[in-house]
């Protein structure tokens, strides 16, 4: 199915209205949860890192620690995990309900390829919005780190924000935004596959939804390990 869905991205007909709709559902709909996740991750990281850095007398590096961890690891992974929980599950339950009520068969009977109509728009939309959401989560996470640094740790804003961006290289940002592009495949394809292969009525829909979240989450963590290895070891 993955190969078929990727090929469908380049074949006519393109269901652009479905792509926009999915970008709205997946992207705009996920903004609050992604923003909250980013904020609290950044805040807790600042709190934790300050404690560790204080033992080395390097509390001025709190911003650096927060931005590095967020941009390279926590931002992409946590955003993708939130997306797996929200969107892989949503795709699995929506397509699963369609499968058990014969809507997928009806679509094929009416001469439409369900992969092109249902899977390709969801994949494309996820590939576009996941890197954007990750960038937003990274930024809000840094802001969360700033709130803790300023109000709890009492670092000056200049000290925090300077250390946040000064040590970050373009390569780090590129790596941090490449990961969500790859995670998008896990989020969308696992969700769609679980949905389309649903059997066994409403109970089956529940099973597919759970299976989608678990499989997508594990896949994201495994892909993150693999990509970190590639980026770090070159």
Which stretches of the chain bind other proteins, using CB under 8 A?
A: 12-13, 15, 17, 97-98, 101-103, 105-113
Least CB distance to other proteins at residue 115 (A): 9
Least CB distance to other proteins at residue 102 (A): 4
Least CB distance to other proteins at residue 20 (A): 13
Nearer Cβ to other proteins, position 80 or 91? 91
- 13 phi/psi in degrees, rounded to 5: -80, 150
Nearer Cβ to other proteins, position 14 or 61? 14
Nearer Cβ to other proteins, position 1 or 218? 1
Long-range contacts of 209-213 (CB under 8 A, 24+ apart): 209/89, 209/92, 209/93, 209/96, 211/92, 212/84, 212/88, 212/89, 212/91, 212/92, 213/84, 213/85, 213/88, 213/89, 213/92
Least CB distance to other proteins at residue 194 (A): 19
* 69 close to 78: Cβ distance less than 8 angstroms: no
Nearer Cβ to other proteins, position 106 or 230? 106
- Cis before 62? omega within 30: no
Nearer Cβ to other proteins, position 110 or 232? 110
For residues 88 and 209, what is the distance between their CA atoms, to the nearest angstrom? 8
For residues 3 and 50, what is the distance between their CA atoms, to the nearest angstrom? 46
Least CB distance to other proteins at residue 126 (A): 19
């Amino acid at each position: 199915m993955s190969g078929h869905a990727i090929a469908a991205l380049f074949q006519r007909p393109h269901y652009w209205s479905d792509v926009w709709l999915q970008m709205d559902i997946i992207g705009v709909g996920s903004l609050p949860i992604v923003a909250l996740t980013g904020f609290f991750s950044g805040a807790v990281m600042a709190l934790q890192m300050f404690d560790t850095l204080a033992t080395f007398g390097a509390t001025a590096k709190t911003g650096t620690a927060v931005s590095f961890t967020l941009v390279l690891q926590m931002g992409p992974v946590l955003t993708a995990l939130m997306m797996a929980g929200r969107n892989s599950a949503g795709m699995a339950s929506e397509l699963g309900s369609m499968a058990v009520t014969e809507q997928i068969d009806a679509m094929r009977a009416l001469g439409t390829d369900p992969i092109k109509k249902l899977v390709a728009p969801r994949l494309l939309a996820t590939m576009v919005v996941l890197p954007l959401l990750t960038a937003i989560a990274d930024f809000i996470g840094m802001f969360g780190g700033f709130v803790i640094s300023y109000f709890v740790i009492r670092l000056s804003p200049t000290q925090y924000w300077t250390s946040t961006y000064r040590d970050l290289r373009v390569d780090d940002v590129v790596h941090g935004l490449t990961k969500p592009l790859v995670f998008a495949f896990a989020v969308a394809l696992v969700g769609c596959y679980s949905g389309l292969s649903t059997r066994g009525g409403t109970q089956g829909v529940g099973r597919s939804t759970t299976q989608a979240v678990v499989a997508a989450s594990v896949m994201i963590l495994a892909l993150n390990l693999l990509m970190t290895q590639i980026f770090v070891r070159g």
